[in-house]
Structure formats: C-alpha cells, structure tokens
Structure 1
Amino acid sequence: MSGVVEKTLRLTASPERVWNALTDPMELRQWFPEDAELDPRPGSAGWFEWTDHGRFSVRIEEMEPPVRLVWTWAREPGVALDEGHRTTVEWTLTRRDDGGTTLRVRESGFADRKHRDQNDAGWDEELDELVQHLEEDPVSRARPTEGRKAGSRPRPRR
C-alpha cells in the first residue's frame, strides 16, 4: 500500500452540525457526490455518484455519533467492494472549547502513489465545498433540492 491522505479543518459549526453534513444523504449531495444512497448505520451499503466519474460502492464500517465515522469505498466505479481495490475513509470530529469542530479525515489503503495523490487533491476540493456548505447552511439539516447540478463544481479524482 502506498500511504495515506490526512486533512484537518477547524470549523465554526458544532460537531452535531458537521455530523449531519457527513451522514445525511440530502446534505452529502450539497457538497460531496452529486447523488448518494446511504443508510447511516454500521454495516449498511450504498453508493456515491458523480456524473464525470461514475457510481462508487460504499459501506459504513463504524459510527459513533457525532465523534467518528468510518466508511470503505470502491476504488473504481461500478465495482462491488468485495471485487476490487478499496480504500477506507475515517472522519474524526472533536468539539473545541469555542463550540466549533476540529474535523480530521484520513483515507488509507491506496494501491499506489498515483491514486493517493489524486485523492489528496480531490479531498482539498471536497473539503472546501464542505466548508462552503456549512457556511451557507449553518443550521438546517439539508436544503430541499435534488442535489447539485451535474458539473457545477469540480469532482474528486477517484
């Protein structure tokens, strides 16, 4: 395996608010995939989809609301988790004294440095979108939309 991607953000939103943005499919569509099917409970399987990149299988491995979330996802679109290479994404949320959140994301299990570097750049884009989403929608769980318009923002390089 070839390294990990680790990112840390200081967010003004509470851990509960950030947790909703990470686990509610309606909210995920606002900043991460263009479409998602996900039942936020350990062992559940679903998918994330991007118009330009396809549909990626995902499985929730662990959840400790609103502190820790772990999922495994397929490296290639249209491939079942058990059939191909996959990586593991771990989210850790820590409440700060000011009520905000320190958010850490760690992705591991890369087969090669090329894919690790692609996802490193992809996470920079996606986390910028998360920050923007939380700033634009600081209280509500999700906006009543069908998700973002396809191609409206840069997509991760899976």
Structure 2
Amino acid sequence: MIGYIVGMDRRRGTVFATDDGRTAIRFERVLPHPPEQVWQAITDPARLSAWFPAVVDLDRPVGSALYFGVTAEQQRRYGMADDPDRTPNGRLLRSEPPEVLEYEWSGEILTWEITRTATGSLLVFTNVLTEPDAAGPATAGWEAGLEVVEAQLDGKPITWDPLDRAEELSAAYE
C-alpha cells in the first residue's frame, strides 16, 4: 500500500491507495482501555448515536444484511430522508469480539481492528472508499467521531457536536 499522511499531526488520518487502486483512509489510536471497552465504544447503539454517521444494529451474525439509516441530526441539519422500507445497504463481513469488526456500507469497507497492548489497546480503523473525492470529508468526519469515542472511553463529557467538529477539521483534509 502506498500512503501519505494528510497534515503533520500524527492524529490525522492517513489517505492511501490500496493495492487494487481504490482510495482508503486509516486512523490509529493508542487507548488506555482494554479491547473489551473499545469494542463496546464502536458497537453499542447508545454510544454510536453520539458519533457514528448512521443508525445501525451491528449485533448480527456474520453475513447478515445491515441497514444504515439516517440519523435524526442528519435529517434536521441536512434534510436527509431515511428509507421507509429500510432496504439493506450493507453487510456484516467479520465480527470477532473484541478484536475485529468489518462491514460493507454502500460499497465501502470499514474495518476496526483492536489489539491488546501492555497499557490498553491499539485501535486501527480503515475505510476503503467508493469515491476517491470523498477522502477529505470522510477523513474529517471519522476524526471527529474518534474524538467522541476517546472522550466516551475516558469518561469525559462531550461538549461539542461531531458534525460541527468535522466541518472545522475539513480544512486540514482539503
């Protein structure tokens, strides 16, 4: 894989070309929390509702069709409409708690890998995109979401809106 880091901050996402020529983004976070807690932060619907850009139930068997719905905030802010038929738009590809979660969402592949470390966990998140031009906005959005995940794990109050934060971060990824 050939990659480049967007910006100089190590907390920024890495945008790279996959071996098959698609565009992907990757984040790494060293977290002082065990993998089981990190797994809950990326799968529990109550936690996801604070940062994930869709409403989804990931507690399904591998191979299950998934429906990623529009959030109430996306409806309010952007006028996005949810599919009343809830037609599946994804699939659960891997679920190996608390180490690997991978799913397809509208043609994109999202992979969460959690490795136990001596002091907690290493979280590696990779999103293989369908549209290369989406790398900037997607990376800003995932960085904002990961900030919420870290705050949740640390027990800190979330005093910001992740959509507003993504807009602030977008300049770093243009």
TM-score with structure 2 length normalisation?
0.65
User: CA 1:48–1:127 in 2, change beyond 3 Å: closer, same or farther?
Assistant: farther
Gaps of 5+ in 2: 1-20, 84-88, 168-174
- Show the counterpart of 2:117: 96
Q: 1:60 touches 1:71 (CA, 8 Å); kept in 2? A: yes
Q: Which of 72, 92, 95 is 1:60 aligned to?
A: 92
The structure-2 alpha-carbon separation of the partners of 1:124 and 1:19, relative to structure 1 and needing over 3 Å to count, comes to: same
**Shift, 1:133, TM fit:** 1.1
What letter is aligned with 2:99? V
More helix by share: 2
Cα separation, partners in 2 of 1:23 and 1:33, compared to 1, 3 Å:
same
CA contact (8 A) 2:145 2:162 kept: no
**Larger RCO (CA within 8 A; separation ≥ 6):** 1
Separation in structure 2 between the aligned mates of residue 6 and residue 153 of structure 1, nearest angstrom: 18
SS at match of 1:49: coil
Residue 117 of structure 1 and its aligned partner are, at CA, apart by: 1.8
SS in 1 for 2:70: strand
Number of aligned pairs? 132
2:48 equivalent to 1:49:
no
1:152 is displaced (CA, Å) by: 4.0
Give the TM-score normalised by structure 1.
0.71
Q: In the aligned structure 1, how far is the partner of 2:26 from the partner of 2:39?
A: 18
Name the SS for the 1:36 alignment partner.
coil
Residues 104 and 19 (structure 1), Cα distance of their counterparts in 2 relative to 1, 3 Å cut: same
Deviation at 1:48, TM superposition (A): 4.2
RMSD: 2.7
Aligned residue identity for 1:49: V
Task: Please state which structure has a larger fraction of its residues in strand.
Answer: 1
- Are residue 128 (structure 1) and residue 147 (structure 2) matched? yes
